[in-house]
């Protein structure tokens, strides 16, 4: 069953039934001001940091779910009936409900008793505000007297404190009201120099700023007493819960349409110019007034929307493809790329599953996310790399997370996740392959943000590599530390105390437990680093990396091989994990996927055997699970992985993030059919038909789909903010379609399904537009290329040296 449909032409997903299984959200904003918005207008907004600068309030895991948002009410002032065009919060039975989630905007509308209404929400580029354009049309044969209300609930800035510290917070709320504008200035009197505002374009018939005056005691957002009465009360908030509500009365002739614009925004004043007149307690509005006035103007608002549309058009145009598979096309061309930008902006902070107060930016996560967004925003990727590297420690180790507001490593979580440093090599390499910008390696970058400790970025990569060499275990494999990619494989934790963090508790010395996954990553990243060193003229250094890589490969094939597949790890007792000898957890996806992705065992049949057994034991119709058999109880020596009931999360859930490693592994074996089949099993668009089972949005990836051991096999959770976005994008674009960036040029190496007659693509790469057409003439993966009509040797298309800005690439697969 479906709850809507894709409108690919307009790059929208159109939801036609409001009661989706879960709130289906979208993101507003792409620079500094952000919001999440659900298909029934739920959600909240923040400036830069979802915890520390939260503008509006949201109650996670509330009942009913997803209440609190950007709510509009309409009231028929004759019949006194009222409703919300976005269904929530009043939940009337609406006609023609639709929610169009598009690129950076959402439009929600419906019609009720002959009154059509819809609101378009978006954040203009380069501004710290959001615009709501409400359009109301009278479809009745008679005149209609309609009151419109728009409302939000302010958050007192720090979302964590706001939700917990009531003894203080019930006393601090303050607002100011001017005609058409409500200013929220809680804590402005003391240490803040920022405030929020909520403005309305039309002459108001009333406002409210005190929540209880608007809702009424013991009422919810579904039945505000002031809306019911048809008159806001002009209340001024003192303490308690400040809100912003505007009322506008419309007198609509039959067929008449009116538009009202609301603007919700964030503004800062210089610390010494906070008040006007100076010495007063009145917010200085000199610089904010023109901004508000500008965007309350419908023409300006429309122009801002058009600029936003063009921005996304341009951003997505960097890579566009046309294959025989509609699900591939719309994910690659629209939604997967868009989701990669969301992971760039949000990391793992704010979604329907991430409360915005938990995590900073993950070192491992953000480096991997780069694989999915570097081609769209290379300059910002560069900045992100330098920020990440600045938190690296002199040992080569890394803080597991850093705070985006301070850009400093998070001491509470600390480091010691021994895979972390290698992802920096992977990220930097992806950046150079995309841009050809070698200068990044010479950027001075400090360790742990310590002024004076700056060394060239390249030295950071060296230390990342060396970090592992200094942490080798009894079998010659890398020590795992707190965990590797799998945050929940905590082999040095041994926690039997409730509430202890699996991520930071370490009860063992850590000199025994080893990770085959890190070994595979070391081989992969080591080769990338060697390539970089060679091109920097450091031949000897490069050879030394390759020698270490070759040594590690041998160790993997000896001590990391279980006979038919790759082992996962050795625990603190030196016992195998992910072996046929184990009772549970006999085979794992990470080591098998990543070792094959890294090219290990390709020559001697081991890679093929690893992939065949991965298919046999881990593949399901909904995707590949993390391991089998699932852990049926808690194992002290394994940690969090066994804390989850079977089939969920890292305990044999379908962790979508790692599925692409196996897809890439299959392409390395030349298996285009299976690679694309795996791709399709978790492709959200291809799962749209089973939305009542999948439950999450059909337009973005979720972190996890419940595995076959779970009662809810096939149900997705934790959509939007996941490494799944980048890795699937990378797998389909660079390995299955095979349009791959290299340090030298653009490699064309498709491993596509046999049934595909070919595909075409447009790729802007280092300032040149490549028009690519692939035609299948035989069943294999051998490719013969012509560039602007001339055949070339090999399959790497080098950037033109004669200033051509467009290049035609034709490939014949046989």
Closest by Cα among 369, 588, 633, 597 to 486: 588
What is the distance between the alpha carbons of residues 26 and 45, in angstroms, rounded to a whole number? 12
Segment (H or E) for 306: helix 298-317
CA-CA distance, 60 to 693, in Å (whole number)?
Answer: 23
Rg of the chain in Å (alpha carbons): 28
Rounded to a whole number of angstroms, the minimum distance from the CB of residue 635 to ligand GLC is 15
Print the binding letters for residues 734-773 with ligand GLC: x by CB under 6 A, - otherwise.
Answer: ----------------------------------------
User: Least distance from C-beta 523 to ligand GLC, angstroms?
Assistant: 19
Q: What angle do CA 105, 369, 470 make, to 5 degrees?
A: 160
Residue 703 binds to ligand GLC (criterion: CB under 6 A): yes
- Which window, 50-58, 543-551, 649-657, 682-690, contacts ligand GLC (CB under 6 A)? 649-657
User: How near is the Cβ of 57 to ligand GLC at its closest, in Å?
Assistant: 25
Question: Which of the residues are catalytic?
Answer: 487
- CA nearest 434: which of 388, 380, 371? 371
Looking at 26-34, 286-294, 362-370, 750-758, which segment touches ligand GLC (CB under 6 A)?
A: 362-370
Taking the complex as a whole, the smallest distance from the CB of residue 366 to ligand GLC amounts, in Å, to 10
Report the nearest approach of ligand GLC to the CB of residue 490 (Å): 9
Q: Which two tokens stand for residue 671?
A: 């298996």
Distances (CA, A) of 779 to 428, 527, 612, 671, 754: 36, 31, 21, 11, 6
Cβ at position 717, least distance to ligand GLC in Å = 11
Q: Which of residues 453-512 bind ligand GLC (CB under 6 A)?
A: 485-488, 503
Contact 762, 332 (CB under 8 A): no
Q: For residues 761 and 748, is the Cβ–Cβ distance under 8 A?
A: no
DSSP per residue, 356-399: SSS--EEHHHHHHHHHHHTTT-HHHHHHHHHHHHHTB-TTS-B-
What binding mask, one character per residue, do residues 652-691 give for ligand GLC by CB under 6 A, x or -?
A: -----x----------------------------------
785: left (phi over 0), alpha (psi -120 to 50) or beta: beta
Residue among 323 and 642 whose Cβ is closer to ligand GLC = 642
Q: How far is the CB of 649 from ligand GLC (least distance, A)?
A: 5
CA terminus-to-terminus distance, the chain: 40
Binding mask 3-42 for ligand GLC (x = CB under 6 A): ----------------------------------------
Closest CA to 590 of 515, 682, 525: 515
Q: Which is nearer to ligand GLC, 45 or 486 (CB)?
A: 486
**Judging by beta carbons within 10 Å of its beta carbon (0-12, 13-18, 19+), is residue 53 exposed, middle or buried?**
buried
The Cα–Cα gap between 658 and 727 comes to 8
Which C-beta is closer to ligand GLC: that of 235 or that of 703?
703
| H helix or E strand, kind and range, residue 342 | helix 336-346
Region near ligand GLC per CB under 6 A, out of 6-14, 359-367, 376-384, 510-518: 359-367
User: What are 637's two structure tokens?
Assistant: 């020596």
Angle value at C-alpha 615, between 612 and 616, nearest 5 degrees = 85
Task: Specify the residue, 358 or 574, whose C-beta has the smaller distance to ligand GLC.
Answer: 358
Helix (H), strand (E) at residue 459: helix 457-469
Show the binding pattern over residues 74-113: x = contacts ligand GLC (CB under 6 A), - = does not: ----------------------------------------
Tokens of 296: 């309350």
Name beta bridge partners: 807: 770
Cα(51)–Cα(357) distance, integer angstroms: 5
In terms of CB distance, is 115 or 725 closer to ligand GLC?
A: 725
Per-residue b or e along 544-574, where b marks 16 or more CB atoms closer than 10 Å to that residue's CB: ebbebbeebbebbeebbbbeebbbbbbbbee
Give the separation between CA 402 and CA 359, rounded to whole angstroms.
Answer: 9
Segment interacting with ligand GLC (CB under 6 A) among 79-87, 360-368, 424-432, 686-694: 360-368
Query: Nearest distance from residue 529's CB to ligand GLC, in Å?
Result: 21
The per-residue b/e assignment along 289-310, b for 16 or more CB within 10 angstroms, e otherwise, is eebbebbbeeeebeebbeebbe
Interacting residues with ligand GLC between 188 and 217 (CB under 6 A): none
- Site pattern 290..329 for ligand GLC (x: CB under 6 A): ----------------------------------------
Closest approach, Cβ 702 to ligand GLC, in A, equals 11
Site for ligand GLC in 512-571 (CB under 6 A): none
Residue 208 pairs with which residues in a beta bridge? 235, 245
Minimum separation from the CB atom of position 704 to ligand GLC (A): 8
H or E element in which residue 168 lies: helix 166-169
Residue with the CB atom nearest ligand GLC in the bound state: 487
Contacting range for ligand GLC; rule: CB under 6 A; set: 21-29, 246-254, 361-369, 736-744: 361-369
Smaller CB separation from ligand GLC, 169 or 349: 349
CB closer to ligand GLC out of 365 and 553 = 365
Q: Quick one: tokens of 517?
A: 């996954």
**Closest by Cα among 471, 439, 482 to 458:** 439
Q: What is the number of residues in the chain? A: 814
Kindly state the smallest distance separating residue 504's Cβ from ligand GLC, in Å.
10
Site for ligand GLC in 413-432 (CB under 6 A): none
Nearest-approach distance from CB 602 to ligand GLC, in angstroms? 25
Integer Cα distance of 312 and 306 in angstroms? 10
For residues 22 and 656, which CB has a smaller minimum distance to ligand GLC in the complex? 656
Is 267 or 400 the residue whose CB approaches ligand GLC more closely?
400
In whole angstroms, give the CA distance from residue 446 to residue 451: 7
Shorter beta-carbon distance to ligand GLC: residue 208 or 650:
650
* Nearest residue (CB) to ligand GLC, 244 versus 372: 372
| Residue whose CB is less far from ligand GLC, 45 or 367 | 367
Residues making contact with ligand GLC (CB under 6 A)? 348, 362, 364-365, 485-488, 503, 640, 649-650, 657, 703, 722-723
């Amino acid at each position: 069953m479906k709850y809507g449909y894709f409108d690919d032409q307009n790059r929208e997903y159109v939801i036609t039934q409001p009661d989706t299984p879960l709130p289906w959200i979208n993101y507003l904003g792409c620079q500094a001001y952000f919001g999440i918005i659900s298909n029934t207008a739920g959600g909240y907004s923040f400036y830069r940091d979802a915890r520390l600068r939260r503008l509006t309030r949201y109650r996670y895991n509330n009942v009913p779910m997803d209440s609190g948002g950007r709510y509009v009410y309409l009231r028929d002032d004759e019949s006194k009936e009222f409703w919300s065009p976005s269904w929530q919060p009043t939940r009337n039975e609406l006609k023609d409900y639709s929610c169009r989630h598009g690129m950076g905007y959402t439009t929600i509308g419906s019609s009720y008793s002959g009154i059509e209404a819809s609101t378009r929400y978006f954040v203009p580029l380069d501004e710290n505000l959001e615009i709501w354009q409400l359009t109301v049309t009278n479809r009745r044969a008679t005149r209609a007297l309609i009151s419109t209300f728009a409302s939000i609930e302010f958050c007192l800035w720090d979302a964590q404190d706001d939700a917990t510290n009531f003894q203080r917070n019930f006393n601090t709320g303050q607002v100011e009201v001017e005609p058409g504008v409500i200013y929220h200035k809680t804590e402005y009197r003391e240490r803040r120099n920022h405030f929020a505002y909520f403005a309305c374009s039309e002459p108001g018939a009333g406002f409210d700023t005190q929540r209880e005056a608007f809702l009424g005691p013991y009422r919810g957002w579904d039945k505000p007493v002031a809306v019911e009465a048809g008159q806001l009360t002009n209340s001024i908030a003192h303490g308690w819960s400040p809100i912003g509500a505007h009322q506008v009365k419309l007198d609509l002739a039959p067929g008449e349409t009116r538009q009202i614009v609301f603007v919700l925004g964030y503004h800062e004043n210089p610390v010494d110019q906070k008040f006007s007149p100076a010495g007063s307690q009145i917010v200085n509005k000199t610089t904010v007034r023109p901004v508000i006035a500008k965007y309350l103007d419908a023409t300006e608002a429309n122009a801002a929307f058009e600029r936003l549309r063009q921005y996304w058009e341009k951003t997505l145009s960097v890579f566009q493809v046309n294959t025989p598979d509609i699900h591939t096309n719309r994910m690659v061309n629209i939604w997967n790329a868009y989701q990669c930008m969301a992971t760039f902006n949000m990391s793992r902070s704010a979604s329907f599953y991430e409360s915005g107060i938990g995590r900073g930016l993950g070192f491992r996560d953000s480096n991997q996310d780069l694989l999915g967004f570097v081609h769209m925003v290379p300059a910002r990727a560069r900045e992100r790399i330098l920020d990440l590297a600045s938190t690296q420690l002199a040992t080569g180790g890394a803080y597991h997370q850093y705070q985006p507001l301070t850009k400093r490593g998070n001491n509470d979580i600390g480091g010691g996740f021994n895979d972390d440093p290698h992802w920096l090599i992977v990220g930097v390499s992806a950046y150079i392959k995309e841009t050809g910008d070698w200068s990044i390696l010479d950027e001075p970058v400090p360790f742990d943000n310590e002024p004076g400790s700056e060394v060239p970025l390249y030295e950071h990569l060296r230390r990342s590599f060396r970090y592992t060499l200094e942490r080798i275990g009894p079998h010659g494999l890398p020590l795992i530390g707190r965990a590797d990619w799998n945050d929940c494989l905590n082999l040095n934790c041994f926690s039997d105390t409730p509430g202890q963090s699996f991520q930071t508790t370490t009860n063992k010395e850590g000199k025994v437990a080893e990770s085959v996954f890190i070994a595979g990553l070391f081989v992969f990243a080591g080769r990338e680093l060697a390539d970089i060193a060679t091109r920097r003229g450091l031949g000897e250094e490069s050879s030394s990396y390759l020698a270490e890589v070759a040594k590690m490969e041998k160790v993997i094939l000896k001590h990391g091989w279980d006979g038919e597949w790759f082992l996962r790890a050795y625990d603190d007792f030196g016992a195998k994990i992910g072996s046929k000898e184990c009772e549970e957890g006999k085979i794992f996806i990470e080591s098998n996927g990543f070792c094959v992705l890294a090219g290990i065992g390709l020559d001697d049949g081991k890679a093929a055997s690893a992939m065949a057994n991965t298919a046999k034991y881990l593949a399901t119709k909904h995707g590949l699970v993390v391991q089998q058999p699932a852990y049926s109880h808690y194992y002290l020596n394994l940690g969090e992985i066994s804390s989850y009931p079977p089939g969920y999360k890292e305990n044999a859930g379908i962790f979508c993030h790692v599925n692409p490693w196996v897809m890439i592994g299959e392409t390395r074996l030349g298996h285009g059919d299976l690679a694309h089949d795996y791709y399709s099993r978790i492709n959200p668009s291809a799962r749209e038909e089973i939305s009542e089972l999948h439950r999450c949005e059909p337009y973005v990836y979720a972190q996890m789909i419940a595995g076959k051991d779970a009662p809810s096999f096939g149900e997705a959770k934790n959509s939007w903010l996941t490494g799944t976005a980048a890795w699937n994008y990378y797998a389909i674009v660079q390995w299955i379609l095979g349009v791959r960036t290299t340090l030298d040029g653009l490699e064309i190496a498709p491993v596509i399904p046999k049934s595909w007659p070919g595909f075409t693509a447009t790729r802007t790469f280092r300032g040149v537009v490549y028009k690519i057409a692939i035609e299948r003439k035989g069943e294999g993966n051998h490719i013969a290329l012509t560039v602007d009509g001339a055949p070339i040797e090999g399959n790497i298309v080098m950037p033109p040296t004669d200033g051509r800005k467009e290049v035609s690439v034709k490939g014949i697969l046989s």
